[in-house]
Amino acid sequence: MSHVKQIQAALGELPALVMTDAVSIRYASGFHIDDGAAVISRDGAWVVTDSRYVEAATAAISDMQVLCTSRGRGVNVILGEIFAQNGFEKAGAMPDRLTHAEWDWMEKAVGVPLVSAGDILKDLRARKDQEEVDCIVAAQRIAEKALDEVLGLIRPGMTEKEIAAELVYRMYKYGGEGNSFDPIVVTGAKSSMPHGVPGDNVVKAGDFITMDFGALYHGYCSDMTRTVAVGHVTDEMRKVYDTVLEAQLAGIAAAAPGVVGRSIHDAAAKVIDDAGYGEYFGHGFGHGLGLEIHESPGAAGPDVLPEGAVISAEPGIYLPGRFGVRIEDMLWLHNGGAENLTKAPKELIVL
């Protein structure tokens, strides 16, 4: 999906915005290009690619002029031509997306001074429109279908890697374009590691298994964590699980457009603190997501969450060397509240 008009409306007095990173180009054009550039001005839009992508780009992009590089006429030359032909006296660029060397290269290519304009896309991307949310929801339904099947396969003796492989296979099978990120699947004592890497650890009766994963759909990410038990749980395991779920629900109840992310985090953290596990919740309540698995706004710091933001809701408790629990949903903040985009069950499942 294209966001050319939204970017044009946000330029203000800036003559043009130039982008070379794949995520920004995709947000602008709706098309993924690994190596190229895009320029958007108040009354024009161009995307520069090469022979690997030009045919598909031309078919997919309707509101930008698609230009193709050739021998001796690279991206830098075409950028220079666009700027010379349109008389742009300066251009916006995104310093958080460019190294110092890339900034220098781009400034030489366009032939005019570059000014920092990173907040234009940051602010726009933080506010998801209905079409973007539809893609996130489609990715989530794919992930949920994969989880539902994998829960029927898990048994003592399986390894973390095998469970992760089953999730990945099924997300592709049901229409995913790939993983939002490398899946986290950890069992037993390793479930106390929030970002543990799937290994050869074997599932045993009495274990918690934490699975954090997501699918991609039209470039948009889903993100979900579910913690399940195998065979049986102790009273403490059930208490920790129930505390995490209560904390998540408290954070969700506090989430709404216009709310400061820290206040959402604090609502969840208070539940965990009151239960005596405060020192074992070391990360934030959540993060924004969309074309990237972590993007603006943050859902645990000073950011004011805008209308349309999609954020994760993922408190956890991690007891080192013993076990951990995390439960994660995705929320769309709109119409004065938080709509939960995640439909997978959250009650404790004992397989």
**Which tens digits make up the pLDDT trace of 186-226?**
999 999 999 999 999 999 999 999 999 999 999 999 999 99
Question: What's the rounded mean pLDDT across residues 97-103?
Answer: 95
253: pLDDT strictly greater than 90 = yes
For residue 317, the one-letter residue type is I
The two three-digit tokens of residue 262, written as one number: 């820290």
118: pLDDT strictly greater than 90 = no
What does the pLDDT read at residue 325?
A: 98
Q: For residue range 258-272, what is the model confidence (pLDDT) as tens digits?
A: 999 999 999 999 999
290: pLDDT strictly greater than 90 = yes
Cα distance between residue 308 and residue 208, in whole Å: 34
- For 235, the 3-state DSSP assignment is helix
Q: For residue range 103-112, what is the model confidence (pLDDT) as tens digits?
A: 999 999 999 9
User: Which residue bears the tokens 């602010």?
Assistant: 123
Kindly list the structural domains of the chain, giving each domain's residue range(s) and its CATH number in brackets, ordered by start: 4-125 (3.40.350.10), 130-340 (3.90.230.10)
pTM higher than 0.85: yes
Give every CB contact of residue 226 below 8 A, 6+ residues apart in sequence.
147, 210, 211, 327, 328, 344, 346, 349
Q: For residue range 19-41, what is the model confidence (pLDDT) as tens digits?
A: 999 999 999 999 999 899 999 99
User: Which residue bears the tokens 């809701």?
Assistant: 313
Give every CB contact of residue 264 below 8 A, 6+ residues apart in sequence.
251, 254, 255, 285, 286, 299, 300, 305
62: pLDDT strictly greater than 90 = yes
**Preceding omega of 156 cis (within 30 degrees of 0):** no
Cα distance between residue 45 and residue 33, in whole Å: 16
What does the pLDDT read at residue 29?
A: 97
Question: What's the rounded mean pLDDT across residues 326-347?
Answer: 97
Cα distance between residue 183 and residue 157, in whole Å: 20
* 102, 93 contact by CB (below 8 A): no
- Sheet arrangement for strand 91-93: 65-68, 45-49, 37-41, 16-19, 91-93, 114-116
233: pLDDT strictly greater than 90 = yes
Cα distance between residue 55 and residue 34, in whole Å: 15
Q: What percent of the chain has pLDDT over 90?
A: 98
